[in-house]
Amino acid sequence: MKKLNLIIFTTIAFALGVALGAGAFWLLSTDNASTTYPQQEHHAEQPHTEEPHTPTHNPQETGRSSTSSFSAIETGGMSSFALMADANLWAWGNNHNNMLGNGTVTNQYGAMLVIENAVAVSASHSHTMVIDTSGNLWGLGANNQGQLGDGTIAQRQYPIMIMEDVYAVSTARSHTMAITTCGTLWAWGSGSGELGIGARNWQQQLTPAHVMDNVAAVSTGDRHTAAITRSGNLYAWGNGADHRDRSNITQRFIDGEVVLTDRDGNVLDNFLSPAFITNDVAAVSAGGSHTMFIKTDGSLWAWGSNEHGQLGNGLNTPTHEPIHIMDNVIAIEAGETHSFAITEDGVLWAWGANGGTLGDGTTTTRHVPTRIMENVAAVSTSAFHTIATTHCGTLWVWGNWSAVNHMLGGDFNPQTHAPMRVRVI
């Protein structure tokens, strides 16, 4: 998915991307000379009470700070990326589709310097997209759904250039969205409604296709997409974007196409192209089948699936209209079936499904925002693990043992349900 993607409280560029100096890619081998294993710091797991805004677990930072601060972090599947202030991009984790960009399919234990002169990165569970300082967009990794946008379905071991004049990009499992410097939104990959190009049936779009103009930010979910215009209007499309009450909506097969109809048989908008949701929106994050957004007043809203409490409203039933969750929010990250938010005071909150990905020291599903740690600058999550950085320049990881274990050289206790500090370089 993409996950993700961390959404900063701004109406400027949202989508995670990468800029590489002079358009040159420096790809290092996976031998020991190019791999640095981080220091490990363990924190005892403590139980959480499910009271909103009630801290019971707050790991404290100890030990040395990183030698470089972080510009951005990203998770994709069971892989992780850390972009340092010195513009070096480091990666670790699963590499079965060449998504780490080192020319192999060997999983990477410990952080590996992949690219120099970078500024951001966006990764799904199997492919990675990159923007260089000239505005050129590059892709690498899996491409069986056309998600790289190079006109083929060939997997790429090394970055291949896709298009020019790009300033933002967001990746999902089988589709990718990019915004050009003039605010035009483009889509490619496989799907139906999530591409936003009006296709009722599943299709494979192998090259970038125009979606809409005057776009400031975009976020891709598993089967849907959301975007904010330069005027702060929120649009969404695809399966999962529909915020209507579906109790009176029926899916029908008419003239070879799947359509939605009301109880009287009238064909409804299938959310196959951008549909207006609301205005005064500063940031958006699309999850597996739910969506969260921050309004310009700092209030957090959400709609969509809620079987695991991923909306954070204390229930487990879906909502078809945006509902208010909390206030004073500056950043959000929607996961597959869980969610994160950072408030103005730097506190990280989490809720939803919890296989250890929430970081509260348990595997208990949380239906309301639960306090995780303080002084947080950024967070990124996948279906398997989560990483976060603090304003002190430290990196913390937690979640699925296998995903986190790649960062630690393959030798530590698999119980990683609470944030544990690691060192990239």
Three-state secondary structure along the chain? CECECCEECCCCCCCCCCCCHHHCCCCCCCCHHHEECCCEECCCCCCCCCCCCCCCCCCCCCCCCCCCCEEEEEEECCEEEEEECCCCEEEEECCCCCCCCCCCCCCEEEEEEEECCCCCCEECCCEEEEECCCCCEEEEECCCCCCCCCCCCCCEEEEEEEECCEEEEEECCCEEEEEECCCCEEEEEEECHHHCCCCCCCEEEEEEEEEECCEEEEEECCCEEEEEECCCCEEEEECCCCCCCHHHCEEEEECCEEEEECCCCCECCCCCCCEEEECCEEEEEECCCEEEEEECCCCEEEEECCCCCCCCCCCCCCEEEEEEEECCEEEEEECCCEEEEEECCCCEEEEECCCCCCCCCCCCCEEEEEEEECCEEEEEECCCEEEEEECCCCEEEEECHHHHHHHHCCCCCCCCCCCEEECCC
Q: Calculate mean pLDDT across residues 11-19.
A: 35
Q: What is the pLDDT of residue 254?
A: 58
Are 347 and 335 within 8 A, CB to CB?
no
141 to 155, 174, 357: CA distances (angstroms): 6, 12, 25
Checking if the pLDDT of 2 tops 50, the result is no
Tokens standing for residue 221: 């979910």
Read off φ and ψ for residue 246, nearest 5 degrees: -90, 5
Q: What is the pLDDT of residue 191?
A: 86
Distance CA 34, CA 331 (A): 33
Checking if the pLDDT of 45 tops 80, the result is no
Lowest-confidence segment of 16-20, 78-82, 289-293 by average pLDDT: 16-20
328, burial (CB in 10 Å: exposed 0-12, middle 13-18, buried 19+) = middle
Asked if residue 397 belongs to a domain, the reply is: yes
- Domain span at residue 364 reads 7-422
Q: What is the pLDDT of residue 111?
A: 87
Distance CA 13, CA 375 (A): 23
Q: The domain that contains 409 carries what CATH number?
A: 2.130.10.30
Most confidently predicted of 84-93, 194-203, 340-349: 340-349
Asked if residue 2 belongs to a domain, the reply is: no
Asked if residue 61 belongs to a domain, the reply is: yes
Q: What is the pLDDT of residue 372?
A: 98
Asked if residue 1 belongs to a domain, the reply is: no
Q: What is the pLDDT of residue 21?
A: 33
What does the pLDDT look like over 216-268, one tens digit per residue? 999 999 989 999 999 999 999 987 666 555 555 665 655 655 566 666 666 65
Q: What is the pLDDT of residue 56?
A: 40
Distance CA 141, CA 291 (A): 26
Checking if the pLDDT of 199 tops 60, the result is yes
Asked if residue 248 belongs to a domain, the reply is: yes
Nearest to 223 by CA among 268, 260, 189, 186: 189
Checking if the pLDDT of 55 tops 80, the result is no
Asked if residue 52 belongs to a domain, the reply is: yes
Distance CA 58, CA 46 (A): 9
Asked if residue 140 belongs to a domain, the reply is: yes
CA neighbours within 13 Å on the CB side: how many for 333? 32
- pLDDT category at 84 given cuts 50, 70, 90 is confident
Site of tokens 């730097």 = 346
Asked if residue 146 belongs to a domain, the reply is: yes
- pLDDT category at 185 given cuts 50, 70, 90 is very high
248 to 193, 200, 242, 244, 291: CA distances (angstroms): 20, 20, 13, 9, 22
Nearest to 388 by CA among 313, 331, 329, 308: 331
Domain count, the chain: 1
Distance CA 173, CA 197 (A): 18
Torsion of CA 400, 140, 176, 151, to 10 degrees: -150
Model-wide pTM > 0.95: no
Instruction: Tell me the average pLDDT of the chain.
Output: 80
